[in-house]
Structure 1
Amino acid sequence: MKLKITGLFFSAVLLFSGCSDKYLDLQDKQNLTENTFWTTRQHALQGITATYAALQAHDGDKWTFFEQVYTTLAFKADDIDNNKNEPYGKNLAAFVNSADESGPWNLWATCYAGIGRANQVIEKVPGITVMTETERGQIVAEAKFLRAYNYFVLVNGFENVPLVLKFEKDLTKLQVPQAPPVEVWAQIEKDLTEAEGLLPESYSSEYKGRATKGAAKALLAKTYLYQEKWAQAEAKFREIYGKYSLNANYVDNFNGTKENGPESVFEIQFSGDRSVSDERHPFNFEGRPYALDGWEIFYPSDWVVTEMKKDKTSDGGYSDRVYGNIFFDDPKSTMWDLNTPANQIPYADVASSLSRPAYYNKYAYPNDRSGAYVGYNISLIRYADVLLMLAEAANENGKTDEAIGFVNEVRVRSHATALATGSLSKDQLRQQIRNHERPVELAMEFGIRWFDLVRWGRGNTAKQPVKTLLQDHAKPFAGNYVEEKHIRYPIPLKEINTNPLLKQNNLY
């Protein structure tokens, strides 16, 4: 479902922050009102599309999406080393940010944009009588899925956030206090359980990319996993086990050729179209080296490169996911340039011009490209991640050998040597999943690694303090990390100035 919207009206769309009208192309701004808008099936589709559109950032801008939202989610983790000469996410990566840092505010605004739009859909669509009950229920379920996803990001990132479930036009009523995190988690579970019951298994090609029953199950299982509800997580993941499949080629998850394909559980949709709004993003451009006309804004950390080089095939070579993740000093390592048509450049051809020994190769592909930027989708949940989370839950439930089998499904796809059954204890497999399988398979992917570190740092099962891990993995500026402070983002100062009922997170 590519995100284009015409004829859409919202009286307001955000919780505490203003919103751009970039996605709105109103045919009659004088006569279109809230009451006349929410009357047809097309209005309902436009409303839910706008809710999906918020996943691209609250203002729909590709630079906000990458240089604010993505960097905020990614740069604190141990698989990323930011370019110290660039400002984007610099203070977050060095653990010296204050409450007025722009990245966390843009993440907050993006999530509450999605929540505000979802709340409006949930309230208004049931009253559209020209639609069938089934279709109304499905669209409301999509909105609940999206609301749950946004609260999942907020509660993991900020922990202490307002829980707003009603669309408010009176701005004074938006000044509400934070809810206890346990209430936010409970609402996420409720929304996803209700969404699961009404979402379809799949869609026609016209609507591919909308949230499915499988996506709701996966996010609900992930929600259980993050709360260490191991039995519930395992059971829910098993409900979608085998309902998806891994792409034969690892890189097809990142090059735009298998969008919404067999491995996709849920993706942020981009089209590359610039006719209405700029449906592109700069992932293809931002991480590539200067020598290949990139911006070189971030790099794979030395630790993750070392860990990847342990991922070997049966003949001693590197697995496909190593080559798919990093551009490094190896005869088989190549990266596409930005020429038209594009060419694959061997590492040796540009080695003398590189400032770093390794770069991320993931997403650096020429498909669906307009200029330097691309329109291929960004995965939020893919089946390989589901298999690794299922393995984690099964292992914690004492099913270590079966969990090894789930891990091996992911490894074998990339021709990494399978782990031998019985070769690892429960504790050893836990560490293998946490600090090899997940970072090697899912390196730099949207919203993955930092939230993994957060949940293991907050959890009670084999608690893994974030600072210790960052220091063990030689994260630059790890010495600045304060455990009870930097595990959360600050509540944005803009929001506290607007809403006096908000309390700042600890030590900010």
Structure 2
Amino acid sequence: MLYFNSHKKVMLSLLLAGSVFSSCKKLVEIGPPTTQVGLDQAFASDATATSAVLGVYNASATRDLLFPLSEMPGLSANELQNNVSSPSFDEFKTNSITVTNSVVAVNLWAYSYTTLAQANAMMEGINRSKGLSPAVRNQLLGETKVWRAFINSYLVNMFGDVPLPVKDDPLSNATLARTPAAQVWSQIITDLAEAQSLLTDAYPSTLRTRVNRQVANALLARVYLYQKEWAKAETAANAVINSGIYTLNKDLNTTFSNTSNEVIWQLATLTGISTYTTNRDANGGSYAAAPGTIPAVTLTDTLYNSLEPADRRKTSWVAATDIGGQNYKIITKYKLRVLATGTTTGNEFNVMLRLAEQYLIRAEARAQLGNLAGAVADVDSIRSKAGLPQLDNSITQPALLLAIEKERKAELFGEWGHRWFDLKRTPAVAGGGKTRADEVIGGMRPATWTSTDALYPIPDAQRVANPALTQNPGYNR
């Protein structure tokens, strides 16, 4: 059964206002489907349909996913540490997550399915509408397919087999069994390929805050990488890199500004301050805090110490700060915590995708395909902006793949769970059917780590409500 907040029913009047959800925290079952008359009214014109689809971007459930999708996998990977003791959070940092974990149940599962429900409702409205111009119809349908693919890619990465709702039918969706992960990945690829054909390179908004064709390409490159389809990953990353739209940002201090040409996609905020820094104290759940106050989440010493001494990211994106006699590695990719005196808006949003990842995707794909020189060139593009020397051109393939893993760790820390997903998907150096997660996390946390911890548990409340849901291995205890 899929759950969301009691005021989070899909109501067209609120969708048209660009917001669907309230802050009420009481969980109830999804109500009946939106009436067909309501959908027809919402999608009667280009303007009203666009406003409805923007509700997916602006909904609180969508935005409530942002920080947890970076924080929770980051805790699992020993990339991040939480500095406020919480049973639900502590379970992630020891890889001992229980089936009743509230963060898994609400933030990772319920909010994901709420956003999927919205995307499916929007597709239904777009497909039924007789009043949309072809260009707007294609744009909006492409956007919602990208959103669905994005959310599904996180669900399948976190949980493995998951329910796969593809229709606007909440009552039937509430009793879906888990779809095998391979089929979920196939649906993700289908959605992104269809989005490619529907979208153009032109952004329909300022500051790249809505989806264009290159967003679909960038996500497709990531998906193909995760699926070990190296040639397709290289082709998709090539499309983004060679589009002529984006460039790597040489100034690390402005990489995450909302005018950075490295940004492929970002979600706007009303204040111009990122969700990652908005909450201002240890209880707020962010990377930032008032001076002298410990942020809720910081970088671990393990990851910080793994950065090369001359790496500019170590000083531009991290502030090693003594607070109360202890040193904390505060993540400073986003620079704004509050607005400057005399200003009414900042210049940072929430970066969803950026060009640096595409270079690293292409590097790994090239290395796997035997194009070591091309892979080295891509890695060096990232190392150069970090002030680091180039890789040795005589590097072997195994050493190069480890160098790429290390570069991804240094470049993408604190962003979207990359480190966790990289460790889970990469075979162990020692082989034996293990993964890098077994080697790295198992080595750090031998008392609590088991290979089955690579997948999170299906929330127990969901299984009670929907008996068709099975549990992941290792959690039937």
TM-score normalised according to structure 1 size: 0.79
Q: 1:3 maps to what in 2?
A: none
The C-alpha deviation readout for 1:338-362, integer Å capped at 9, x for no partner, is xxxxxxxxx5xxx474422533233
Alpha-carbon distance change, 375 to 165 in structure 1, aligned in 2, over 3 angstroms = farther
Alpha-carbon distance change, 264 to 383 in structure 1, aligned in 2, over 3 angstroms = same
Q: Aligned AA for 2:472?
A: N
Deviation at 1:394, TM superposition (A): 0.3
Deviation at 1:378, TM superposition (A): 2.2
Q: Aligned AA for 1:253?
A: T
Partner-residue secondary structure (3-state), 1:362:
coil
The C-alpha deviation readout for 1:210-266, integer Å capped at 9, x for no partner, is 111111011111111101111111122112223321112112133xx334x311122
Q: 1:134 maps to what in 2?
A: 135
Q: 2:251 maps to what in 1?
A: 249
Alpha-carbon distance change, 21 to 427 in structure 1, aligned in 2, over 3 angstroms = same
1:323-338 alignment, distance < 5 Å? 323-328=315-320
Deviation at 1:153, TM superposition (A): 0.4
- Which residue among 368, 382, 386 is the counterpart of 1:396? 368
- Which residue among 37, 40, 44 is the counterpart of 2:42? 37
**Counterparts of 2:290 and 2:267 in 1: how far apart (Å)?**
29
Q: 2:187 maps to what in 1?
A: 187
Q: Aligned AA for 1:402?
A: G
Native 8 Å contact 1:225 1:233 kept in 2:
yes
Native 8 Å contact 2:278 2:338 kept in 1:
no
Deviation at 1:298, TM superposition (A): 2.6
Deviation at 1:123, TM superposition (A): 1.4
Deviation at 1:203, TM superposition (A): 2.0
Give the paired residue count: 446
Alpha-carbon distance change, 184 to 20 in structure 1, aligned in 2, over 3 angstroms = same
Q: 1:306 maps to what in 2?
A: 305
Alpha-carbon distance change, 298 to 365 in structure 1, aligned in 2, over 3 angstroms = same
1:480 and 2:448 are equivalent in the alignment: yes
Alpha-carbon distance change, 133 to 381 in structure 1, aligned in 2, over 3 angstroms = same
**Counterparts of 2:348 and 2:146 in 1: how far apart (Å)?**
22
Deviation at 1:384, TM superposition (A): 0.6
Q: 1:332 maps to what in 2?
A: none
Deviation at 1:462, TM superposition (A): 9.2
Q: 1:361 maps to what in 2?
A: 332
225-234 or 82-91, larger mean C-alpha shift? 82-91
Partner-residue secondary structure (3-state), 1:232:
helix
Deviation at 1:149, TM superposition (A): 0.6
Q: 1:380 maps to what in 2?
A: 352
Q: 1:214 maps to what in 2?
A: 214
Partner-residue secondary structure (3-state), 1:359:
strand
Native 8 Å contact 1:144 1:192 kept in 2:
yes
Alpha-carbon distance change, 406 to 20 in structure 1, aligned in 2, over 3 angstroms = farther
Native 8 Å contact 1:280 1:374 kept in 2:
no
- Which residue among 410, 423, 431 is the counterpart of 2:402? 431
Alpha-carbon distance change, 50 to 483 in structure 1, aligned in 2, over 3 angstroms = same
Partner-residue secondary structure (3-state), 2:258:
coil
Native 8 Å contact 1:272 1:280 kept in 2:
no
**Counterparts of 2:340 and 2:468 in 1: how far apart (Å)?**
45
Q: Aligned AA for 2:461?
A: K
TM-score normalised according to structure 2 size: 0.84
Partner-residue secondary structure (3-state), 2:44:
coil
- Which residue among 443, 448, 451 is the counterpart of 2:421? 451
Instruction: Report sequence identity in percent.
Output: 25
Native 8 Å contact 1:290 1:354 kept in 2:
no
Deviation at 1:51, TM superposition (A): 1.8
Partner-residue secondary structure (3-state), 1:470:
helix
Q: Aligned AA for 1:359?
A: I
**Counterparts of 1:184 and 1:352 in 2: how far apart (Å)?**
45
